[in-house]
């Protein structure tokens, strides 16, 4: 099935809008210089893109691309709000067919995008085509099977299995993090600086936000509709998993860690 696993339900977008360059692209920040040209592929609502654009100074230029008109409108509004519209634009584009000449960008970035694609290697090849020699490609993806939590509620095991099965219906690979380096090598990108980093949800406010977001997404998002349509879950299963998320968050000692893999790929 083609399409984007999560869809752009309000709960999904709320989650993406909390992302910043600091919490989602820290590994890339030392590479950024004033005046660079940066492309953010699968930019979503553009919060990370705007932070990255901010770091390129008045002479830098950034473009965010995404196939979804809905998120691009939000991203453009954010750029205007932050006074970045002269140096940050958003355009509709598909990572497999980027509408740019070869060697157009110094930095080509994709955050949580490759995991949703049926052909991440082709995507990396296309990102490489538009990257200039001497430039860098930066990719970061979560690894769903490596997420860790406590307490070990059965509903969260069900959530993990269901989410991962549903993501695969869309042709994606939810356990992407561990595969990033192999995808880069297959795309001919062998000069790699790998790293990993996490998001942690373990304070009351973090637990509430993370669990409410997943409880809502479990019942209402594109993933939920697909799980039902594909016979992977019943409405009762989804309701039980959503309630499990809220029960998890009710524990003052509950902990959740999201592991991400990151690669800085030098382009020659």
Q: What are phi and psi of 10, to 5 degrees?
A: -50, -40
Least distance (Å) from ligand SAM to the CB of residue 7? 9
Determine the residue with CB nearest ligand SAM: 44
Task: By CB under 6 A, name the one of 111, 128, 217, 260 that touches ligand SAM.
Answer: 111
Tell me the three state secondary structure of residue 88: strand
128 binds ligand SAM (CB under 6 A): no
Considering only residues 69 to 108 of the shown chain, the ones binding ligand SAM according to CB under 6 A are 71, 94-96
What is the distance, to the nearest Å, from the Cα of residue 167 to the centroid of all Cα atoms in its chain?
Answer: 13
Task: By CB under 6 A, name the one of 19, 37, 87, 260 that touches ligand SAM.
Answer: 19
**What value, to the nearest 5°, has the Cα angle with vertex 29 and ends 87 and 187?**
90
Segment interacting with ligand SAM, rule: CB under 6 A, options 28-36, 111-119, 127-135, 212-220: 111-119
- Comparing CB distances to ligand SAM, the nearer of 69 and 205 is 69
Segment interacting with ligand SAM, rule: CB under 6 A, options 50-58, 64-72, 155-163, 187-195: 64-72
What is the distance, to the nearest Å, from the Cα of residue 55 to the centroid of all Cα atoms in its chain?
Answer: 20
What CA–CA distance (Å, rounded) separates 69 from 90? 10
What CA–CA distance (Å, rounded) separates 28 from 140? 10
Bridge partners of residue 61, in order along the sequence: 37
Tell me the three state secondary structure of residue 129: helix
Task: By CB under 6 A, name the one of 32, 43, 52, 108 that touches ligand SAM.
Answer: 43
Q: How many residues sit in the footprint of ligand SAM (CB under 6 A)? A: 19
119 binds ligand SAM (CB under 6 A): no
Among 218, 211, 208, 264, which Cα is nearest to 239's? 218
- Comparing CB distances to ligand SAM, the nearer of 54 and 237 is 54
- Contact criterion met (CB below 8 Å) for 248 and 160: no
Considering only residues 239 to 258 of the shown chain, the ones binding ligand SAM according to CB under 6 A are none
Task: By CB under 6 A, name the one of 11, 28, 38, 48 that touches ligand SAM.
Answer: 48
What CA–CA distance (Å, rounded) separates 125 from 131? 10
Residues that bind ligand SAM (CB under 6 A): 4, 16, 19, 41-44, 48, 66-68, 71, 94-96, 111-113, 116
């Amino acid at each position: 099935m083609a399409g984007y696993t999560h869809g752009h339900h309000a709960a999904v977008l709320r989650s993406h809008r909390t992302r910043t360059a600091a919490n989602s692209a820290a590994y890339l920040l030392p590479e950024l210089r004033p005046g660079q040209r940066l492309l953010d592929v699968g930019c979503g609502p553009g919060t990370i893109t705007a932070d990255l654009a901010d770091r390129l100074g008045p002479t830098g230029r950034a473009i965010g691309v995404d196939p979804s008109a809905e998120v691009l409108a939000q991203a453009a509004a954010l750029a205007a709000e932050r006074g970045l519209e002269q140096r940050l634009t958003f355009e509709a584009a598909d990572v497999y067919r980027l509408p740019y000449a070869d060697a157009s960008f110094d930095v080509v970035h994709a955050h949580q995008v490759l995991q949703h694609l049926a052909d991440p290697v082709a995507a990396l090849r296309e990102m490489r085509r538009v990257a200039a020699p001497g430039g860098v490609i930066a990719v970061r993806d979560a690894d769903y099977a490596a997420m860790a939590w406590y307490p070990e509620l059965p509903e969260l095991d069900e959530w993990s299995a269901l989410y991962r099965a549903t993501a695969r219906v869309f042709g994606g690979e939810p356990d992407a993090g561990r595969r990033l380096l192999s995808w880069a090598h297959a795309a001919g990108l062998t000069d790699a600086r790998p790293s990993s980093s996490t998001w942690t949800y373990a304070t009351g406010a973090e637990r509430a936000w993370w669990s409410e977001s997943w409880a809502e997404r479990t019942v209402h998002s594109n993933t939920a509709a697909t799980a039902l349509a594909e016979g992977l879950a019943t409405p009762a299963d989804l309701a039980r998993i959503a309630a499990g998320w809220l029960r998890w968050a009710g524990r003052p000692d509950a902990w959740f860690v999201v592991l991400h893999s990151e690669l800085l790929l030098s382009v020659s």
